[in-house]
Structure 1
Amino acid sequence: MSTTTTASTTAKPPQGEMQRGLKNRHLQLIAIGGAIGTGLFLGSGKLISVSGPSIVFVYMVIGFFVFFIMRALGELLLSNLHYKTFGDIAKDMLGPWAGFFVSWNYWFSWVIACVADIVAITAYVQWFNADIPSWLPALVAVVVLTVLNLQPVKWFGETEFWFAIIKIVAILGLIAVGIVLILTRFQSPDGDTATLSNLWEHGGMFPMGASGFVLGFQMGIFSFIGVELVGTAAAETENPRKTLPKAINSIVARILIFYVGALIVIMSVTPWDKIEPGKSPFVSTLAIAGFGLAAFAIQLVVLSSAASSANSGLYSGTRMLFGLSKDGHAPEAFASTSRQGVPTKAVFFTCVFLFSAIPLLFAGDEVIAAFTFVSSMCATLILFTWGSIVVSYIVYLRRFPEKHLASKFKMPMARVAPWLVLAFFAFIAGTLIYGDDTRLPFLAAPVWFLILTVLWQLRKRKLQREGRPLTASIPTIAHPLDETQ
């Protein structure tokens, strides 16, 4: 009996299916790396200029709600290991149309996020040499990302593992250096003394008032895009029941250390009003403090961070496209995989759209302007994705109360938290409309959903004419990974 079970859980899946090639260490570091992205390294400079030290509270508030989103996702995924993505969850809880909308929207949001990351990569490369034409690093980035995502999933996990290690060491190193500078009351060439009092001595913790604090949520939400990646990666993880709860529960500690801790140190070493919005505060802080070589090293780190974020986004987007094809919601070709279980055609199709980063670089006066536009658009779309997770959880709670009671990974405050999260999303939508540079991207989002509506009606009629189901069914039998339990 045991021999049969072991074989069933470790054997390679048949041709046309993805493989569970991610190990525990991969998923844990993917979870950490997903929370440390381009929004923190590049976007935090713009956020600090808008909100001042209150940005610390912005990240704490967003992190609080993101934790509940992830707990909802975790309970849903573990309620049925046949779920591959939250697109599967949406179609099972809300209907075939929801699976279509959620999956295509998530694919598109990651295309936009990857474009934002490529824009950031261009900014980082030009820090080393301003004479490098902006199209060149963008082109190289797209080619490298394509090659990386054509490798077996275990290599994706290994790449993200080391990318995450680099980011963790860099941020912890910056925090350690900052603490030393604060304790020794280091004085910069401009005469600024490193001290915690810099947080409140330059206009207070809320120098821009309530409006500045509210505006901080616009791009702040973009910094957290990617935390849900562990939900997609869990479908290719060897033991999700053990590893997924660990990855999700570590979110609070990650936010406190990598966001709150790092930004407190940065604004203590360098007064917030002297941090340039168009540059990475991680680099400029060390440069102002006189650590030129360290600033150079950090610049390499933030460059690798943007590459990591884009790599993760491309991985997640192609897996969504693979799932759409399996459901009959995308061309059948995207469901084909290589012998290593990689959806190669989905990878190539997605990568084509990344080239849009090149003309976008010439559309704005500054790189940060282009980054702000695409990140705001992405933030708008991710609200729909996260909202689908929360709404699906509400339906799950009503439809399957016995599964919730039996769950070993229950969402805290299950009856109240989902509604609080949805109210928070409404607030975020308001901030995106309120901001001058985020209003247009937000108002452009309905055009995308209108396109999705038309595409769904066309696909639905095609499936009905062919006598096919509107979506692939989700198995309700025990998953092979649960056979030993």
Structure 2
Amino acid sequence: MSDDNNLSRSLSARHVSMIALGGTIGTGLFLGSGESIQQAGPAILVIYLITGFFVFLMMRALGELLLSDTDSIIFIDFIKKYLGPRAGFIMGWTYWLSWLVIAMSELTAVGAYMQFWFPHIPSWIWELAFLLILYLINIVAVAAFGETEFWFATIKIVAICAIIITAIVMVIFQVRTNQGPVRLSNLWHFGISSGNGRELIGAFQMAFFSFLGVEFVGVSAAETKDPLETIPHSINSIIFRILIFYIGALSAIMVIQPWTDYSAGHSPFVQVFAGIGIKSAAGIINFVVLTAAASSLNSSLFTTGRMLFSLTPRKHYFAQLNHRQIPMRSITLSTIIVAVCVVLINYCFPKDAFKMITSVASAAFLIIYMSLMLAHVKYRQSADFKNGPELFQLPFSPWSDYLTIIFMCFIFVILLVTPATTITTILTIIWFLVIYYFSRRVPAAAKK
């Protein structure tokens, strides 16, 4: 293992741009949006716009913090700096655990997608095979990770653009399918929502989950060649991504096929082509959503390895880099935990695994994001901001900070009162109480 504990800056602007571009296009959109459409109907477009707006504000706050100190290993460092060592300790370990949970959800999705082609082969075999391949990619070189993510993101982006173009062409030529004519009025012809207020509000949870991982640009900042240029560009492009890849894609599939024909638990992108009788296209889309899950899993392994490396004391076994400047030991431990847990969860809860895992991740990330906004408020009040350069500032701060925190509290309450997510949200609260207790019992850990 290397004595030099500085992470490799091997990610190019091309890598970071695609990582940021593909970071918000994952299982939440390709798989979870099926449940969102069923719950909210076309009103899901408004829900995504509202959620995306506050996510963008959060990312602008993160971007301002990142550019104030580009040497920070991970954005949790800013929570530690401005909210105190104990807050950094709690949020750091929670963030690590949350990305482990994200990895579990992506692995669960991988198994579900492979069932499309191989329904008789147990899901866990595919899950472990994908996990092993991506683990090997992560321990080879940072550039290998960046290149893999570049092509994963490219596949997702091309596929979504193709779906949008297909919908436009079908509308122009008034194509008819087994479900009826393809027309723009399909967005409102069957009603603009399910009419169930509880389901409408509940759809915010899956919309929020779809954006989890958007802050990944903050994790990769320490390994970016030119963060002052690449980070602002990547963050500012989020609005474009939300409009095209969420609003555009979901509008397209609801135009091609009435939203009432979609079911939860299956990718609406696969359902739309299977529903109009194009089986080969359904297979292609299934491949695309499979790469989306693999992309998110790849990012999860990257993040959990860096987090564990950042959280452990410098001379600790898991705080060492190999000769390629990669935290291989931390990545290995994180991968093993993911493998064991996902097999257990899918064995014990085969039908509810995805919903259970996503709700745990959403609740934990909400608290982390709220802490990030509070850290930004404290930064604005500090000498670092008053004496530093004016770089990439969050507009209308601190009011935009407070509005974002209020919105995230609203999502958390939804998770808490929704029967399907109440237990997992309570478990998340218990986790925070346990880690807070641990931080007080082991003061040295919280003061690193």
SS at match of 2:137: helix
CA shift for structure 1 position 365: 5.0
Amino acid of the structure 1 residue aligned with 2:100:
V
1:292 is the counterpart of 2:295: no
Q: Which residue of 2 aligns with 1:189?
A: 178
Q: Which residue of 1 aligns with 2:55?
A: 66
Pick closer, same or farther for the CA change 1:403–1:248 going to 2, 3 Å. Answer: farther
1:133 is the counterpart of 2:122: yes
Contact 1:21 1:237 survives alignment (8 Å): yes
The aligned runs of 1:30-179 (5 Å cut-off) are: 30-179=19-168
CA shift for structure 1 position 363: 2.5
1:235 is the counterpart of 2:222: yes
Please, which runs of 5 or more residues in structure 1 have no aligned partner?
1-12, 464-468, 472-485
Q: Which of residues 420, 445, 448 is equivalent to 2:431?
A: 448
Q: Which of residues 322, 327, 332 is equivalent to 1:338?
A: 322
344-353 or 400-409, which deviates more:
400-409
CA shift for structure 1 position 209: 4.0
CA shift for structure 1 position 278: 1.8
SS at match of 2:305: helix
Contact 2:379 2:385 survives alignment (8 Å): no
Deviations 1:129-152 (A, max 9, x none): 211112211221221222121121
Cα separation, 2, equivalents of 1:85 and 1:416: 25
Deviations 1:26-81 (A, max 9, x none): 00000011010110000000111111111111111110000010000000111112
Cα separation, 1, equivalents of 2:413 and 2:346: 28
Q: Which of residues 351, 356, 380 is equivalent to 2:335?
A: 351
SS at match of 1:150: helix
Q: Which residue of 2 aligns with 1:477?
A: none
Cα separation, 2, equivalents of 1:470 and 1:194: 60
Contact 2:39 2:194 survives alignment (8 Å): no
Pick closer, same or farther for the CA change 1:312–1:404 going to 2, 3 Å. Answer: farther
Report the structure number with the largest CA radius of gyration.
1
90-99 or 104-113, which deviates more:
90-99
Q: Which residue of 1 aligns with 2:295?
A: 308
Contact 1:91 1:98 survives alignment (8 Å): yes
Deviations 1:400-449 (A, max 9, x none): 37448732211111121000001001110111123221111111112211
SS at match of 1:117: helix
Pick closer, same or farther for the CA change 1:132–1:343 going to 2, 3 Å. Answer: same
Q: Which residue of 2 aligns with 1:475?
A: none
Number of aligned positions between the proteins: 446
1:275 is the counterpart of 2:275: no
Contact 1:117 1:309 survives alignment (8 Å): yes
Cα separation, 2, equivalents of 1:364 and 1:320: 28
1:20 is the counterpart of 2:9: yes
Contact 1:404 1:410 survives alignment (8 Å): no
Cα separation, 2, equivalents of 1:169 and 1:298: 11
371-380 or 444-453, which deviates more:
444-453
Cα separation, 2, equivalents of 1:77 and 1:30: 17
Q: Which residue of 1 aligns with 2:419?
A: 436
Contact 1:16 1:338 survives alignment (8 Å): no
Cα separation, 2, equivalents of 1:415 and 1:440: 33
Amino acid of the structure 1 residue aligned with 2:334:
T
1:460 is the counterpart of 2:447: no
Amino acid of the structure 2 residue aligned with 1:395:
K
1:364 is the counterpart of 2:352: no
Q: Which residue of 2 aligns with 1:8?
A: none
Cα separation, 2, equivalents of 1:403 and 1:37: 38
Amino acid of the structure 2 residue aligned with 1:336:
Q
Deviations 1:299-329 (A, max 9, x none): 1111011010011011111111111114x6x
Cα separation, 1, equivalents of 2:301 and 2:364: 16
1:210 is the counterpart of 2:197: yes
Amino acid of the structure 2 residue aligned with 1:199:
L
CA shift for structure 1 position 180: 1.2
Amino acid of the structure 2 residue aligned with 1:83:
S
Amino acid of the structure 1 residue aligned with 2:437:
V
Contact 1:106 1:382 survives alignment (8 Å): yes
Q: Which of residues 187, 192, 199 is equivalent to 1:199?
A: 187
Amino acid of the structure 1 residue aligned with 2:321:
T
SS at match of 2:177: coil
Pick closer, same or farther for the CA change 1:401–1:352 going to 2, 3 Å. Answer: closer
Give me the identity figure in percent: 38
Cα separation, 2, equivalents of 1:424 and 1:40: 20
Pick closer, same or farther for the CA change 1:210–1:234 going to 2, 3 Å. Answer: same
Cα separation, 2, equivalents of 1:289 and 1:92: 54
Pick closer, same or farther for the CA change 1:437–1:402 going to 2, 3 Å. Answer: closer
451-460 or 406-415, which deviates more:
451-460
Amino acid of the structure 1 residue aligned with 2:31:
L
SS at match of 2:95: helix
Cα separation, 1, equivalents of 2:386 and 2:64: 9
Q: Which residue of 2 aligns with 1:466?
A: none
Cα separation, 2, equivalents of 1:21 and 1:114: 23
Cα separation, 1, equivalents of 2:161 and 2:317: 44
- Normalised by the length of structure 1, the TM-score is 0.89
Q: Which residue of 2 aligns with 1:470?
A: 447
Contact 2:36 2:207 survives alignment (8 Å): yes
Deviations 1:156-185 (A, max 9, x none): 111101100010001101111111112222
Q: Which of residues 283, 305, 314 is equivalent to 1:318?
A: 305
Amino acid of the structure 1 residue aligned with 2:343:
I
Amino acid of the structure 2 residue aligned with 1:348:
T
Please, which runs of 5 or more residues in structure 2 have no aligned partner?
none
Amino acid of the structure 1 residue aligned with 2:235:
I
Amino acid of the structure 1 residue aligned with 2:242:
I
The aligned runs of 1:379-394 (5 Å cut-off) are: 379-394=362-377
CA shift for structure 1 position 344: 0.8
SS at match of 1:17: coil
Deviations 1:243-295 (A, max 9, x none): 10000000000000000000001111111110121210011111222322121
Amino acid of the structure 2 residue aligned with 1:51:
A
Amino acid of the structure 1 residue aligned with 2:184:
L
